[in-house]
Copies of this chain bind each other. A is one copy, B any other.
Amino acid sequence: MSYSPREQGVATIHDVARAAGVSRSTAARALAGYGIVSKEAAERVLAAAAELDYRANGVARSMKTGRSNTLGAVVADIENAFFARVMRGFTDVARANGFQVILSNTDEDPGAEQSAVRVFQERRVDGLVVTPASLDPTGHLYAAHAAGLPIVLLDRRVPGLDVDVVQIDNVKAARETIEHLIALGHRKIAMLTGVTEMEVSVHATNLDSGVSTSKDRLQGYREALDAAGIDYRPDYVRTADFHLMAAREEAERLLRLRDRPTAVFATDSTNALGVLLALRDVGLHVPQDVSVVAFDDADWADVVEPGLSVIAQPVHEMGRLSARLLVSRIRGEALPPTQHVLETQWLARESIGPPPHRRRAVLPA
């Protein structure tokens, strides 16, 4: 009991070589399948390796080669269906290319993101995919990029960081959605969004310098209102974090406004769920009293009554493309950094309709 029990795959290439009666180099060549080895030697090595249950030591290999065959993923929250699906696409492509994926949740906390990036650098990941938690303290991303680490930004941009970005056209998707509601006759359209930089963007003077998903979606919202000559009402724009109960509370506040909106635009599926819960709490009906529309085609969107109209993002493809970009950059196929804008899909279901004809100033019962 005096050794550590952590002697998994205790056989080294040295042991294999000795058992096969060859040198370490020959054993290495036979095992990793490079260089030239005679058939008999290779067979003896492979047999010895099987016999000893040899596992190559990936750590030693990484140390020597400088590559870890590992990709780091820094996501906001793996519990959010959007990120879970994106990661699924990402890991599939990564694995198909021989890369493992290390995962880190930031919970939208820039500090957590910073330390995750640092740890990943120390681990010598070969590339990094990040959904940046903020615009502001991004020095760590610049530094990592400057140090030569391939980075892909997923879902969100960072100003001035010249790397590949995979996202959708959030401004356009939001604008078109709001235009759609306006065409139906709505003029009192509220928006429930995540916290990301909202505090900044709501008060920002120069919106078109904006980045970050929420900021873009807010901009699209405002553009549509502007074009229709509808005044922007700050009290119609609420921010919740990405947790269901927070969304529900904010939504309820929205629905209890004296001048209640006739439509609510939720920027993700958790917020949408919060809106639906709040509508029930308050006793309002969709779409007769309030129309609802949201980003992301959650698996339940077609099961709730009425079906939720959504802007579907190509979640898997966003993950897959991110992985492909990272892999090709790691392989040195260095194209100039590009912003990849994927297409969204509008899925019209039953949760939107014309606004109620008569304004009701008070809530039912």
Contacts and interface: CB of A to CB of B under 8 A. Distances in A.
B58 A124 contact: yes
B6 A148 contact: yes
A105 B78 contact: no
A59 interface: yes
Contacts of A53: 143, 147
Nearest to A60: B63
A244 interface: yes
A124 B100 CA distance: 13
Contact of A79 (B66, B68, B84, B305): B84
Contacts of A303: 273, 276-277, 280, 300, 304
A9 interface: yes
Contacts of A4: 66, 148, 332
Contacts of A235: none
A121 interface: yes
A118 interface: yes
Given A59-B59, A63-B60, A92 B119 contact: no
A148 B55 CA distance: 13
Given A8-B149, A84-B84, A101-B103, A58 B123 contact: yes
A97 to B, nearest CB: 13
A124 B84 contact: no
A44 B101 CA distance: 36
A63 to B, nearest CB: 5
Contact of A56 (B6, B122, B277, B332): B122
A303 B245 CA distance: 13
A55 B102 contact: no
A262 to B, nearest CB: 21
A91 B101 CA distance: 14
A6 B273 contact: no
A22 interface: no
Given A78-B84, A87-B78, A92-B105, A123 B304 contact: no
A296 to B, nearest CB: 13
Nearest to A85: B79
A3 to B, nearest CB: 9
A67 B118 CA distance: 19
A102 B103 contact: yes
Given A59-B63, A88-B105, A105-B88, A121 B6 contact: no
A104 B26 CA distance: 32
Interface in A287-327: 298-300, 302-305
A40 interface: no
Contacts of A273: 299-300, 303
Contacts of A104: 91, 95, 100-101
22 contacts: A6-B66, A6-B149, A8-B144, A55-B121, A57-B63, A58-B122, A59-B59, A59-B62, A59-B68, A78-B87, A79-B85, A88-B105, A91-B103, A92-B105, A95-B104, A95-B105, A102-B102, A244-B299, A273-B299, A277-B302, A298-B300, A300-B300
Given A57-B124, A78-B84, A101-B102, 6 more contacts: A10-B147, A59-B68, A81-B81, A95-B104, A101-B104, A300-B303
